[in-house]
Amino acid sequence: MSTVFLAGHGSWDIKSNGFTTVPRGICVTFYTESMKNMFTSDMFEIIAGTYNGEVKQIYEPGSQIPNYTMYPDTLNEPKCRQLIKARNDKNCGLLMVIGGQTSTLQKLMSILAPGTNVVWCACRYTELKDVGGKSIGVNGAQGTWGNRDAQGKMNNSGDYYFNPGAANRQLHQDGVSLNSTIEYAMASRRKAMGYDN
């Protein structure tokens, strides 16, 4: 199976684009949870084949999947192309939209041959009205860089980031129940963002 990395900026306009069906012979892999943003450094590592994080979701052929929109990433395009070239792997490719164009995931999947694993190397930002969603992680950044303890701290750009999976694994190793894990993660994120004292 070949791998094609879809790199750039990504979002999901639920109202306009809705869902699409993964074509026969294609699967789509995500390294971030739904409604989470990806760090650029993680995008680079995924393309380079050096990423140490976990796969978060895989959509098999026939699955209904959010019909994300891919936008160009002019700033990081040269490095993405350099990284894929350095892999020197005939089974790996890179697909980016360029020149101010955009494309939906549905259109991008339609040009790929059966037997392709599509790796989404972009944010999974969701076009929802801002009603405090970041307090529960909606459109927050998720990745291997920085905070791994679900505290929901702010990075230098003013975005919240956390990796709840890492926190949950640690708490389970310590014998904490799932309900307690969720309560801990939510309470600590709210406190870190100033909602609770």
Structure tokens at 120: 């989404």
Kindly indicate the confidence band of residue 193, based on its pLDDT and cuts at 50, 70 and 90.
very low
* CA atoms of 13 and 23, how far apart (whole Å): 21
Please compute the mean of the pLDDT values over residues 125-136 and round it to a whole number. Answer: 61
Residue 80 confidence class, pLDDT cut points 50, 70, 90: very high
Mean pLDDT, residues 107-134 taken together: 83
pLDDT for 45 beyond 60 = yes
Among 107, 135, 139, which Cα is nearest to 123's? Answer: 139
pTM of the model: 0.68
pLDDT at 125: 85
Cα torsion 111, 115, 116, 117 to 10°: value is 150
pLDDT, tens only, 47-58? 999 998 889 999
**Closest Cα partner for 137 from 52, 68, 35, 69?**
35
How far is residue 115's CA from residue 26's CA, in Å, rounded to a whole number?
A: 6
Give the pLDDT of residue 189.
44
Sheet holding 36-38, edge to edge: 36-38, 140-142, 160-161, 153-154
Query: Who contacts 14 (Cβ-Cβ below 8 Å, separation ≥6)?
Result: 66, 126, 127, 128
Contact of 169 with 53, CB cutoff 8 Å: no
pLDDT above 50: residue 168: no
